[in-house]
Amino acid sequence: MTAGLTTKKRVRGGVGESPQRIDGIPKVTGNFAYASDLYATGMLWGATLRSPHPHARIVKLDTSPALAIGGVVTVLTQDDVPGRDGFGMHVPDQPVFAYGECNYWGEPIAVVVASDLPTAKLGVEAIDIEYELLEPLTDMEEADRLDSQTRRMKIRRGDLTVSGEVVAEGYYEVGQQDQAPLGNEAGLAIPDGEGGVDLFAVSQWVHSDHMQIFPCLDLEPEQVRCHPVGMGGAFGAREDVSMHIHLCLAALRTGRPVKMVYDRAESFVGHVHRHPARMWYRHEADRSGKLVKVEARVILDGGAYESSSNAVIANAAYFAVGPYKCDNVSVDAVVVRTNNPPAGAMRGFGGVQTAYAHEAQMDLLGAEVGLEPLQIRRINALGSGDQMNTSGQLIEGPLPTTELIDELAAMPLAGPLDSTDPRHLPGGTGLTTDPRHVRRGIGYGVTIKNLAFSEAFDDYTDVRIVLTPMGVEVHTAACEVGQGMVTVIQQLAREVLQIEQVAVVWADTSEIGSAGSTSASRQSQMTGGATYQCAVELRDQILSEYGGDELTGDGIWKDGQLVVTLAEVCALRPPTHELRYRHPETFVTDENGQGSPHPAWAVAAHRAVVDVDPELGLIKVVQIDAVHDVGRLLNPVAALGQVEGGTAQGIGLATLEELVVVDGVIKNANFTDYLLPTFLDMPHVEVRWVEEPERWGPLGAKGIGEPPTISSGPAVAAAIRDAVGRHLHRVPVLPQHIVGV
Amino acid sequence: MIVTFTVNGESRVANVAGDESLLTVLREQLGLPGSKNACEQGECGSCSVIMDGALVTSCLVMAADCEGSDVTTVEGIGNDRELNAIQQALLDHGAVQCGFCTPGFVVAATHLFDYNPHPTSDEIKEALSGNICRCTGYGAILRGLEELAEGSA
């Protein structure tokens, strides 16, 4: 390549296309290395002793019988934690190992490190431990009465003495959902021989792990390095520390690499779950159906430790009314502390629970005033320039609720039931469903979610872009959990730099600053925004240095002539630029929840068509139609995958998925009894996009990870109600709720 | 116990404990981590392999029962330089997100297309209903395999 070239190539794989994922080939061939596939020479295995009681006092703990087993190298308990005794996303309230008391079923008490996994498990069995049973606190309303809480949220807006002529009241419950990522928790810790440790463990946010780990190890921050790794999904389950500190302690103690992998049963107690909810609602409207006042009381069960409950309850409260205008709002929301399994992040993060309630309430109101579901939603639709119904925050960016509703109304409805093929009936090939009795229902869900972190959290993401003769390197600690962020980063860098070859380089916590969490629908906007901005600044610096007017993979151009090649630009030193990207500032609200807590929102609208066998209580979701507020569509295939996958998780919570917790004990911690949607449970999902660019983020793109999980479930629940004509107040809707209609 | 069996066309020998599954032996002894351990109950299909012509979940097969068997894992189906048609179809349609279920889907779909090269949409769904995917909602997997079913000779 020489200067003087006059023909420019437009780069492939930029914004708006759907290029193949970088990790696609290794994933289809089985060569992709997940955390559970990592090996190191001389590595040991760890296994965890967990509490068999939801609340108990440890009266005896003798690890010597485990140490007597050949192959057992060491046993770790809280006595072996040299630094701070606990960890936590928000406050370090969870002990590294339970000591004194166990506060939930499955809480870690000790880790046995051995030459192989079966021996480590034998060691766990051998530990001599005795408990004195204590009464567990497992009812969320009792916990509320006892003021056993992590955070109370009070929202008071407008004049709460006003009343409307039309009233809808309802009580709602949401069961506890598990993220159930296919890849279980796994990790490998490798001592560095100088007193420090490198950790390769599942994570949605390595810098948050790092901040929680090193104080417990009593090490300097730079002595602990957390590396992004290959992960089999996350959905919130990887935002908290699980085995991380145990692994580091084990590696430092033994001086050898140590690996841990939870099996499925252990995974069910090894990560936090979605908060189960109870909700009491009263909506008042005028005769035309316009909201006058909404009052809500919400309890979420946070389980034994805080995790991210303080932020989950904020979302539940701020989005308690949905995307509807209302000037008079009262919300009392509390997340309580019990001896149930700890709850924390899961896709939708507090918005999922209250969405079930506010959407059922809108249907009740619509029925009262004689409006169809989409009509009652449309006349109340919240939009740009309005004030958020709960916080009073001015909505400065786009919020196309009305456009979504109109687009959804225009989508064609699913056709009639094909009763000749039992595979299309609720009962499936068991030939159990009598097609003459099948009832069809249609329901809607229109919901709102904040994007990125809120309430004055210093939410930022660091990236570094390096230009080399081989192409572009984007260095980031952002965790790819499967959603395809790596591809979006490539596309944005290509779009700006017009260089096709873009490598995304995973950097550990010592090599680059935080990218923030892969959660809150934030990475396309935050790490994507950082990549875009960093690429623009790097490009402009180089062009300015060489007096050029355009950069491509060939080099720098001026007036249509190549003036210097990329190799020449990179010859002295690879041009490098690093940038910290922040979204607009957010604020803590006042004692009435009033203020500007959120940087942006996305709305979503779903329509569900279901067929129900009322005799057997079986449900078949026939079709889902969805419209999403994406700001700018960066990668159509990836965005569609987020909507389809998020919808599946919404259908799961609406019809199948619930952790059955009895007296603090999970009764179905396995995939035989915790039911996930299969191929046969998923209908066709038809998706439309509304593109109104956001004020910030790359080219106005909005996050798309969580919205489909929030709006799909309420639509399905509404469709089932429509089919059976009963006010079903609880999800998942199970056969026993339907039969006998 | 010494077990000799064929894996991906090669004769392999494993020294297996009485309660070890085929999945454990493939992953921990034979250097074939492509088959994934996600539930160990035969519910999710992530560890699917073809054993003597039958699609099985290798977590539920005792390694000791594999003497003389012929096993094909995802590693025996295609490689990074030469994908098979199923792998290519899944890639082309964005059917891979986290990818943990993908090897199981590749094996199960390969088995389906081996005996039914033109499956209908309902046949694809039914044949793959033993494989759980938590990321994609199955839509992209279906689109990829539908196109393959229509196009393949």
Output the DSSP codes for A56-108. EEEEEEE-HHHHTSTTEEEEE-GGG--S-SEE-SSS--EESS-BSEE-STT-E
Q: How far apart are CA A114 and CA A239, in angstroms?
A: 28
Q: Are strands A618-629 and A601-613 parallel, antiparallel or unpaired?
A: antiparallel
Tokens 């199970």 belong to residue: A734
- B34 chain-A contacts, CB cut-off 8 A: 29-31
The pLDDT confidence band at residue A1, using thresholds 50, 70 and 90, is very low
Nearest residue of B to residue A182 by CA position? B38
Alpha-carbon torsion, ordered B142, B145, B147, B151, to 10 deg? -160
Q: Could you give the CA distance from residue A16 to residue A134 in angstroms, rounded to a whole number?
A: 58
Q: What are phi and psi of A439, to 5 degrees?
A: -115, 135
- Are B44 and A678 a contacting pair at CB < 8 A? no
> Checking DSSP bridges between strand A329-336 and strand A291-301, what pairing results, if any?
parallel
Indicate if A277-454+590-738 has the same CATH topology as A24-32+460-582. Answer: yes
Looking at the domain covering A24-32+460-582, what would its CATH class be?
alpha beta
Token pair for residue A457? 């959290």
Inform me whether the C-beta atom of residue B13 falls under 8 Å from chain A C-beta atoms: no
Token readout for A484 is 């395809």
The reported pLDDT for the residue numbered A423 is 87
Tell me what the mean pLDDT of segment B30-58 comes to. Answer: 98
Distance CA A603, CA A614 (A): 33
Please, what's the largest Cα pairwise distance for chain A? 83
Name the phi and psi angles at B107, rounded to 5: -65, -45
- Residue A539: its H or E element: helix A523-546
CA separation for the pair A549, A543 (Å, rounded): 6
Is the pLDDT at A593 greater than 50? The verdict is yes
For residues B34 and B78, the answer to whether their CB atoms sit within 8 Å is no
Domain boundaries, chain A: 24-32+460-582, 35-135+180-270, 277-454+590-738
Rounded Cα gap, residues A307 and A208, in angstroms: 12
State the first-to-last Cα distance of chain B, in angstroms, to the nearest integer. Answer: 45
Q: Which residues pair with A152 in a beta bridge?
A: A334
Q: Pick from B91, B97, B130: which is nearest to A645 by CB?
A: B97
Q: Which of A460, A432, A359 has its CA nearest to residue A616?
A: A432
> How far A419 CA sits from the closest chain B CA (Å)?
14
Q: Which residues of B touch A203 (CB under 8 A)?
A: none
Residue contact B46–A678, C-beta within 8 A: no
pLDDT of residue A452: 97
Residue of B37, B39, B87, B129 to mutate, interface with A, max A Cβ within 10 Å: B39
Chain A residues whose CB is inside 8 A of the B130 CB are: 678
Read off the pLDDT of each residue in A554-574 and give the average, rounded to a whole number.
93
Q: Do B94 and A672 touch (CB under 8 A)?
A: no
Percent of chain A with pLDDT over 70: 99
Instruction: Pinpoint the alpha helices (H) of chain B.
Output: 22-24, 85-92, 102-115, 121-127, 139-151
Residues of A in contact with B90 (CB under 8 A): 28
Quote the CA–CA distance of A172 and A155 in Å, as a whole number. Answer: 20
A577-589: pLDDT as tens digits: 999 999 999 999 9
The DSSP secondary structure of A12-27, one letter per residue, reads: SS-TTS-PPPTTHHHH
Residue A7 confidence (pLDDT) above 80: no
* Stated pTM of the model: 0.97
Mean pLDDT of A383-387: 98
Inter-residue contact A23 to B99 (CB < 8 Å): yes
d(CA A406, CA A375): 10
Q: Which domains does chain B have, with CATH numbers?
A: 2-76 (3.10.20.30), 85-151 (1.10.150.120)
Q: How confident is the model at residue A511 (pLDDT cuts 50, 70, 90)?
A: very high
d(CA A349, CA A725): 30
Contact A581, A461 (CB under 8 A): yes
On chain B, the residues whose CB falls within 8 A of the CB of A646 are 137
Architecture of domain A35-135+180-270: Alpha-Beta Complex (3.90)
Cβ atoms of A538 and A577 closer than 8 Å:
yes
Fold adopted by A277-454+590-738: Aldehyde Oxidoreductase; domain 4 (3.30.365)
Residue B152: predicted pLDDT? 57
Contact B79 A29 (CB under 8 A): yes
* Residues whose CB falls within 8 Å of the CB of residue A15, separated by 6 or more in sequence, listed in order: A491, A492, A495, A632, A634, A635, A698, A699
Cross-chain Cβ contact A637/B94 below 8 Å: yes
- ipTM over the 0.95 cut-off: yes
pLDDT digits (tens, 9 = 90+) for A205-256: 999 999 999 999 999 999 999 999 999 999 999 999 999 999 999 999 999 9
Say how far apart CA A105 and CA A265 lie, in whole Å.
Answer: 12
Question: Do B136 and A647 lie within an 8 Å CB cutoff?
Answer: no
Quote the percentage of chain A above a pLDDT of 90. 95
pLDDT, mean of residues A326-340: 98
In angstroms, the separation between the Cα of residue A656 and the nearest Cα of chain B is: 14
Residue A3's pLDDT is what?
A: 56
If you measure CA to CA, which chain B residue comes closest to A687? B139
Please state whether beta strands A460-468 and A186-191 pair in parallel, antiparallel, or not at all (unpaired): unpaired
CB contact set of B149 (below 8 Å; sequence gap of 6+) = B113, B117, B118, B119, B120, B124
Distances (CA, A) of A273 to A240, A270, A647, B152: 11, 10, 18, 43
